[in-house]
Structure 1
Amino acid sequence: MMWTAFLATWRAMLADKGALTLLFAGGVLYSFFYPLPYTREVVQRVPVAVVDQDRSSMSRQMTRFAMAHPALQVVAVTPELPAAQDLLWRGDVMGVLIIPEGLQTDVLAGRAAQAQVAGNGLYLMLNKVALNGLAEVVGTVSAGIELKRLAAATPSSYQAADQRSPIAFDAVPLFNVKEGYGAYVVPGVATLIVQQTLLIGMTMLFGTWYQRKTFPLPRRRTMGGYAGMLLAFASVVFLNCCYFFGFVFWFQDYPRGGNFGGMVLLLALFSLTEAAFGMLLAMLFRTRERGTQLMIATSMPVLFLAGLTWPVSSMPALLQALRWLLPSTAGIQGFVALNQMGASLHDIRHEVAGLLVLLAACLVLGWRRWRVA
């Protein structure tokens, strides 16, 4: 009975064009279109303006350094602050470097000198790149001045450099080697895509079966029928995850393959949990459209609850507990740790325990619902 139910479920999925599109084609489409905005990984050539009120050789050097910075694109150089403010308000530039009058005079006299940077906080990523880039420009010019002063008091430029930076600092990114946004967010969102497309497809299938009274299993209340349908939907999750973790991450060149064996074991557990959760949820819907509306509306909250883009410590205590009721919470954290960071199964023992408890609960509740559905 179990394998009969398994095959019957697969035939029903393949016969429903809408569900088939969501269960399989949806993931393929998402895998190419979702990472598309992040293909360049890091933000570059952010437009900025320079307000040069000093008009000295030092201010011109700062302007040249800003023009040479790979993250910046100087679109305007003006001595008038209101002109730069207008550019900032209109959105033509994302940052402004303000070089006040008398800057070079103060530096040559040994007095404290300041240059100011301003940004547009409406666009967080662009604002961060613009402010950091302009700050690096000011810091580079300042470091050059300091090195010249030290060189005048030391026998060589090497000793001057050593005196300025006695402790060498070398930043080496370990996991997100490109330090890009795509490699940070897409591996986690891939798990959410698999979950949401599966749940939408399953609620569509169950809603149609209930509406038309065309349930694919003649004796749907048996344990074998429940187990067969569970394995059928779990195989869909397994195939979609293999596609994302195997092909998409390779094609998009995201960090991958940290702990292959552990990932396969977690994938098997996640697939069963997702299928059991989906069946329990789908048996609550009697119409085809209701599940789609709910899944679309909850996709972003589910992503935030997973702790990928929002720190868990900043969530209310109640949400920190309730988020474990979703398979995506443990799935996203576990797969990112195993596949991107090379963690061991012991390192993700909390995620494994969460999936096991959720699987057991969904099986008990799902079986009870199945018998009376």
Structure 2
Amino acid sequence: MAKITYKIRFWFETFFRSCTRQFRMVLADAGVMLFFLALPLAYPVVYTLIYNPEVVREIPIAIVDNSRTAESRHLARMIDATENASVAGYAASLAEARKWAMERKVYAVIVIPGDYAKKLGRHEQAVLPTYCDMGLMIRYRNLLFALTDVTLQLGADIRAEAIDNIPAGALLAEVTEKSVDTQAFMLGNPTQGFASFIMTGLVILILQQSMVLGVMMLGGGSTERRRKNSGIDPLEINGPMSASVLGRALCVVTIYAPLTVYILHYVPLMFHLPLFGSPWQYLPLALPFLFASAFLGMMLRPLVSERESSFLVFVFTSVIFLFLSGLTWPRSAMSPLWHAVSSIVPASWGMQGFIGINSNAGTLELASEPYMWLWGLAALYFIIAVIVEKLCIRHDLRRYGK
């Protein structure tokens, strides 16, 4: 019984000593402090400022008016009056408008055919050929919305005018002009802004990658010390490896706790980003996410032999993790292989859970799948990190030991 009590006490002593030692190492390391503090504090603010204003307005377009009638000029004025499009000029021909587009003076060309007014007078359908620059989807989307709204409104006006010309037309127009009306509610992103769309999930990836980078830099520093001291790290606490790994992870999670509150709660308030969920619902989701990210950094330690090597891993994995997260492409549309790879990245589940709670006013109960996955990944990566740490110590002793 005394032996068991001693082992338990020794385990907790190692745990607390590893945690306090890690705190001293982090505070004494300017490079690690830069990535643990400066990066999470500055990146969300800088990124959000870059994406402000959130929407693209007054996109220049060219009009090729082959009709040259009052109706065609009215159509051009309606398009120019929208908030998304601005008529930059009238081109004499489609070739001239195409030249403007190639010179990046305009991003869309609308051709009004010569029989436009005639078809309207005959109550026939008129076709408006539209050429859009697809180089940037946000421009194409806004131009499409502007043209769609104008054509729908113009069609409603023409029908109302036609009804007014028949007997009792005014009463009939009042009844039939808007027999069916539609209203759009943009859930999760009322402003339809780009920052509101991307920053809500990108902050999760910033938290993960900055933590992974700092943890791997600490691991690279330990490897360098072993290389100089015959395979022994003089700053390492001797004891159960599970206690040492958990203590170091607790230190990192403690440092990131206030940063997480700042990024997930105060940054959206500063820039008026969507913030519909309760902090008591999405902040508990951050706990397993932070532990999973810390253990992920320790698990990737064999990839880092020097402190500077962590930058290569950071740059290489950031783009991959962004595409696998489901932020730019839905995970449900991924192939089974990439869906499985995405499922082992903590940021993927962190984004899904946080966006579901924050943007749609959900609860932690509704985000139970990401929550359980994050705890599962934290447990899995903890076991792997313990094994990896043991193997790294043995490898360094054999390689650098005298």
Q: Structure 1 length as normaliser, TM-score?
A: 0.94
Between the two proteins, the alignment pairs up a number of residues equal to 373
SS in structure 1 at match of 2:235? coil
Query: 1:60-79 CA distances to partner (integer Å, 9 max, x unpaired)?
Result: 10111122111111111133
Matched-pair contact (CA < 8 Å) for 1:84–1:96: yes
Deviation at 1:158, TM superposition (A): 6.3
1:311 to 2:330 alignment:
yes
Describe the shift of the 1:157–1:171 C-alpha distance in structure 2 as closer, same or farther (beyond 3 A): farther
Letter in 1 for 2:383: V
**Which segment drifts farther, 185-194 or 83-92?**
83-92
Deviation at 1:237, TM superposition (A): 3.1
Matched-pair contact (CA < 8 Å) for 1:235–1:271: no
Determine which of 124, 128, 131 is the counterpart of 1:111: 124
**Which segment drifts farther, 150-159 or 331-340?**
150-159
- Structure 1 portions without partners, runs of 5+: none
Matched-pair contact (CA < 8 Å) for 1:117–1:131: no
Deviation at 1:165, TM superposition (A): 2.7
Q: How does 1:1-373 map to 2 (within 5 A)?
A: 1=13, 2-153=15-166, 155=168, 157=170, 159-213=172-226, 214=233, 216-219=235-238, 221-282=240-301, 284-372=303-391, 373=393
Letter in 2 for 1:70: E
SS in structure 1 at match of 2:300? helix
**2: distance between equivalents of 1:37 and 1:192?**
17
Deviation at 1:262, TM superposition (A): 2.3
Query: 1:73-126 CA distances to partner (integer Å, 9 max, x unpaired)?
Result: 111113322111111222211111111112112211233322221111122221
Describe the shift of the 1:167–1:131 C-alpha distance in structure 2 as closer, same or farther (beyond 3 A): closer
Query: 1:170-228 CA distances to partner (integer Å, 9 max, x unpaired)?
Result: 21223211111111110100000011111111111110121123553332654433322
**Which segment drifts farther, 292-301 or 50-59?**
292-301
Letter in 2 for 1:18: G
Query: 1:308-335 CA distances to partner (integer Å, 9 max, x unpaired)?
Result: 2101132110111121111111111111
SS in structure 2 at match of 1:371? helix
SS in structure 2 at match of 1:74? strand
**2: distance between equivalents of 1:52 and 1:307?**
43
Letter in 2 for 1:107: L
Query: 1:125-154 CA distances to partner (integer Å, 9 max, x unpaired)?
Result: 212222332333333223211110122236
Matched-pair contact (CA < 8 Å) for 1:237–1:274: no
Describe the shift of the 1:148–1:234 C-alpha distance in structure 2 as closer, same or farther (beyond 3 A): same
Query: 1:272-324 CA distances to partner (integer Å, 9 max, x unpaired)?
Result: 22222222223552211222111212212211111121011321101111211
SS in structure 2 at match of 1:91? coil
Matched-pair contact (CA < 8 Å) for 1:117–1:135: no
Give the RMSD, CA atoms, in angstroms: 1.9
**Which segment drifts farther, 171-180 or 156-165?**
156-165
**2: distance between equivalents of 1:189 and 1:239?**
18
Describe the shift of the 1:28–1:95 C-alpha distance in structure 2 as closer, same or farther (beyond 3 A): same
Describe the shift of the 1:254–1:216 C-alpha distance in structure 2 as closer, same or farther (beyond 3 A): farther
Query: 1:40-77 CA distances to partner (integer Å, 9 max, x unpaired)?
Result: 12110101011111110001101111221111111111
SS in structure 2 at match of 1:101? coil
Deviation at 1:246, TM superposition (A): 2.0
Query: 1:218-255 CA distances to partner (integer Å, 9 max, x unpaired)?
Result: 32654433322110112233232111012111101111
SS in structure 2 at match of 1:118? strand
**2: distance between equivalents of 1:154 and 1:27?**
69
Describe the shift of the 1:212–1:162 C-alpha distance in structure 2 as closer, same or farther (beyond 3 A): farther
**2: distance between equivalents of 1:276 and 1:148?**
69
**1: distance between equivalents of 2:169 and 2:124?**
25
- Structure 2 portions without partners, runs of 5+: 1-12, 227-232, 394-402
Describe the shift of the 1:157–1:12 C-alpha distance in structure 2 as closer, same or farther (beyond 3 A): farther
Runs of 4+ off more than 6 Å: none
Of structures 1 and 2, the larger Rg is shown by: 2
Provide the identity percentage.
Answer: 24
